[in-house]
Amino acid sequence: MSDYFQNIPHIPFEGKDSSNPLSFKYYDAQKNVLGKPLEEHLRMAVCYWHTFNWPGSDPFGGQTFLRPWMESGDPLEQAKDKLENAFSFFEKLGIPYFCFHDVDIAPEGESFSETEKKQKIIIDEVSKKLETSKVKLLWGTANLFSHRRYMAGAATNPDPDIFQYAAAQVKMCMDNTKQLGGQNYVLWGGREGYETILNTNMKQELDQLGRFLSMVAEHKHKIGFKGNLLIEPKPHEPTKHQYDFDSANVFAFLQKFNLENEFKLNVEVNHAILAKHSFEHEIAYALSNNILGSIDINRGDYLVGWDTDQFPNNVEELVLPFYYIFKNGGLGNGGLNMDAKVRRQSIDPEDLFFAHIGSMDTCARTLIAVEKMINDGSYDDFLQKRYQGWDNNKELMNSDSLENIYQRVKSENINPQPQSGRQEYLENLINSYIE
């Protein structure tokens, strides 16, 4: 077995004045914030795919990362080597959770049954690792988009055999996620969408997707999986028109198929931006409809229009979304999965640590600012006052009619005066909480 991270020590918390790049400046796991240890609020996870599988390729060039488990060799042995190194990484970082796709952890076989055998071997290895480690599984998911069989989608494929293959794969991955004590099961739409309407029967495809998700919910209950089922919206990439465009679109889709109580959302920061929303918009929408499940925390690049999956490093941008989340009781079963990858020139083992340390520090620093914001209460007061008129006008939301209102506006001579929205005051207020 290789020991890829042998030169990296366990990452300590040293505080913001430390100059040690392999230390946390803000992420003090046991620090009490808003009544409990910081790590229990943030529930941060390393994602297997970007951190251990991503080879550093781009459309113009291939692999730049030379990880030992990526060299040629027996694929199952390589998967075991990767697993050993992944757990060494988790432990040195002190991360409480990880997430994976089925194909990230074990190689695919020539047939479904062969793939299942390989999955079983590695899942049993992961099970053993989890017994002796503090790390837990935040969620599992099936990759229904990389293999060429899925080029025209999985659940929305014109070929029913591909729908069946995908259904079998999800069943297997849900069972494995349950075996590993996973706290959620995620479905990101992958290639559920289309390139051109020329070759697409949209109604047929949407009905297939609804049917597929209904069977996923049914299977969850059948096996007694206690975690949440989560759908991850994304507006485009890989397809031009992804069916799970954004939180509002997914919620409407779920309601059409009577599934709104079966699924919640896994909201990803840069997917929100690609949908031309802010992250806080997606969070506020999900919370308003009681469907926030978990977060894929990352960032994009404002100068390019694709999913760059960078590690978060901007506290200002996270304060408001974190405020909504933690003011509303926190992440529950969900967590902050770092769905992010290092840049292709960041080829050393240290780079993986720098990336995760920076991101965990950014989230910790944001939560500390949010604690100040909640305890201070000025922002809350502002919002409460802005809407307090509704407390004295309850009938408007219940029993009134246009006719009544019309008569009242005339008889009471209602003549409202505009009030400042105070945007700049609020922007300054939010900034004042960041240390």
Q: Residue 335 CB, nearest distance to Co ion (Å)?
A: 13
Choosing from 101, 271, 277, 356, which is the catalytic residue? 101
Nearer to Co ion, 120 or 281 (CB): 281
Query: Residue 426 and residue 370: Cα distance in Å, rounded?
Result: 14
Q: Which of 39, 244, 280, 307 binds ligand XUL (CB under 6 A)?
A: 307
Site string for ligand XUL, 80-109 (x = CB under 6 A): ---------------------x--------
Q: Which of 192, 268, 361, 371 binds ligand XUL (CB under 6 A)?
A: 268
CB atoms under 10 Å from CB of 402, counted, come to 7
Nearer to ligand XUL, 64 or 146 (CB): 146
Residue 141, contacted partner among ligand XUL, Co ion, none, CB below 5-8 A by kind: ligand XUL
Which two tokens mark 102?
């089925």
Q: Give, in degrees to the nearest 5, the angle at Cα 247 between 357 and 398.
A: 125
Question: Annotated catalytic, 101?
Answer: yes
Q: Residue 339 CB, nearest distance to Co ion (Å)?
A: 4
Choosing from 28, 102, 104, 307, which is the catalytic residue? 104
Q: Which of 39, 125, 317, 339 binds Co ion (CB under 5 A)?
A: 339
Residue nearest to ligand XUL (CB): 188
Among the residue ranges 58-66, 202-210, 237-245, 336-344, the one whose residues contact Co ion (CB under 5 A): 336-344
**Count of residues binding ligand XUL (CB under 6 A)?**
10
Q: Residue 174 CB, nearest distance to Co ion (Å)?
A: 18
Site string for ligand XUL, 187-226 (x = CB under 6 A): -x--------------------------------------
Q: Which of 141, 169, 310, 366 binds ligand XUL (CB under 6 A)?
A: 141
Site string for ligand XUL, 219-238 (x = CB under 6 A): -------------x-x----
Q: Which of 39, 125, 280, 339 binds ligand XUL (CB under 6 A)?
A: 339
Asked if 104 interacts with Co ion (CB under 5 A), we say no
Residue 39, contacted partner among ligand XUL, Co ion, none, CB below 5-8 A by kind: none
Question: Annotated catalytic, 104?
Answer: yes
Binding site for Co ion (CB under 5 A): 268, 296, 339
> Which residues are catalytic, by number?
101, 104
Binding site for ligand XUL (CB under 6 A): 101, 141, 186, 188, 232, 234, 268, 296, 307, 339
